[in-house]
């Protein structure tokens, strides 16, 4: 079967075998993680829900907020973070599924002004329901900080191994976010440098994991890549990137959404 015919399959219960190992490897790409955190931080408030916290690769960057609720479907991930953050009284950890209405009911009392959803939405079959629940959990004028894999042309064996249902494009993500009720404040592609590596490993070589050596090289060169991308995007809105970053706001009044 050719790569053009690859379709996502229904995830089995639990996690994909490569899921934890991928998170572990991505924890070591510190310069990349810090870049994404810097892009998001100006939009984050003080009462934050992280949907799909994993093993905390991005959670660490939001520890100084008034409240950080780290939620994941995997009990092992939640327990790991419970132990790591046990001396942080502002951090709450919980097992939950954002598509489950009872999860929303249980979290509503926290009165979140920010929902983080970073490389998680693509794992959810009903992404529209997930976004609607994130909207419900936000206070008026609260923000959704969304980060998803981009480029349908990049979908391959890495995506399948990770349990991705899809990759997004700007023109497909925007109406999905707006349908949930959000007003989009920022939506754009990021990480031009990541495209060749993902294409090579996922589409050409059929790998299920990104090689650690390549990730170390990427991390080492990240300052150069980031500076070059900022320069390029300052003069040209390049409609390409390995990821999409979306900042969206729950309006004060529903009829003010555009």
> Is the model more confident about 106 or about 255?
106
Evaluate whether 32 touches 217 at the Cβ level (below 8 Å): no
Q: Greater confidence, 45 or 8?
A: 45
Given a contact cutoff of 8 angstroms between Cβ atoms, the answer to whether 33 and 54 are in contact is: no
The span from the CA of 166 to the CA of 148, in Å, is 10
Q: Per residue in 204-238, pLDDT tens? A: 999 999 999 999 999 999 999 999 999 999 999 99
Mean pLDDT of all residues in 40-51 = 98
How much of the chain exceeds pLDDT 70, in percent?
91
Q: Give the pLDDT of residue 257.
A: 56
Q: Which residues of 97-106 are buried (b: 16+ CB within 10 A; e: fewer)?
A: bbbeeebbee
- Distance from C-alpha of 134 to C-alpha of 251, rounded to nearest angstrom: 13
Q: What is the pLDDT of residue 9?
A: 32
Q: Say whether pLDDT at 100 is over 90.
A: yes
Q: Which residues contact 239 (CB under 8 A, 6 or more apart)?
A: 170, 189
190-212 average pLDDT score: 96
CATH topology of domain 13-253: Rossmann fold (3.40.50)
The pLDDT confidence band at residue 18, using thresholds 50, 70 and 90, is confident
Task: Report the b/e string of 141-176 with b at 16+ CB within 10 A.
Answer: ebbbbbbbbbbeebbbbbbbbbbbbbbbeeeebbeb
- pLDDT band of 199, cuts 50, 70, 90: very high
| Structure confidence at residue 19 (pLDDT) | 84
pLDDT above 60 for 75:
yes
- Residue 13: pLDDT band (50, 70, 90) is very low
């Amino acid at each position: 079967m050719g790569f053009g015919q690859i379709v996502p399959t229904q995830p089995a219960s639990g996690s994909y075998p490569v899921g934890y190992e991928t998170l572990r490897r991505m924890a070591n790409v510190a310069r990349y993680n810090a870049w994404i955190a810097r892009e998001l931080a100006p939009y984050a408030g003080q009462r934050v829900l992280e949907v799909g916290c994993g093993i905390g690769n991005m959670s660490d960057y939001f520890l100084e907020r008034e409240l950080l609720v780290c939620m994941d479907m995997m009990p092992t991930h939640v327990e790991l973070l419970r132990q790591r953050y046990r001396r942080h009284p502002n951090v709450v950890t919980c097992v939950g599924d954002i598509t489950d209405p009872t999860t929303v009911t249980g979290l509503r009392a926290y009165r979140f002004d920010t929902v983080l959803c970073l490389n998680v939405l693509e794992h959810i079959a009903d992404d529209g329901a997930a976004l609607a629940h994130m909207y419900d959990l936000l206070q008026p004028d609260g923000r959704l900080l969304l980060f998803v894999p981009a480029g349908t042309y990049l979908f391959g064996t890495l995506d399948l191994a990770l349990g991705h249902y899809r990759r997004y494009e700007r023109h497909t993500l925007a109406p999905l976010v707006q349908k949930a009720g959000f007003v989009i404040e920022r939506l754009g592609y990021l990480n031009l440098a990541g495209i060749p590596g993902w294409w090579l490993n996922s589409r050409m070589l059929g790998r299920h994991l990104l090689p650690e050596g390549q990730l170390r090289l990427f991390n080492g060169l990240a300052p150069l890549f980031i500076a070059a991308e900022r320069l390029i995007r300052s003069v040209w809105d390049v409609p390409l990137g390995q990821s999409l970053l979306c900042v969206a706001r729950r309006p004060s009044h529903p009829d003010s959404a555009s």
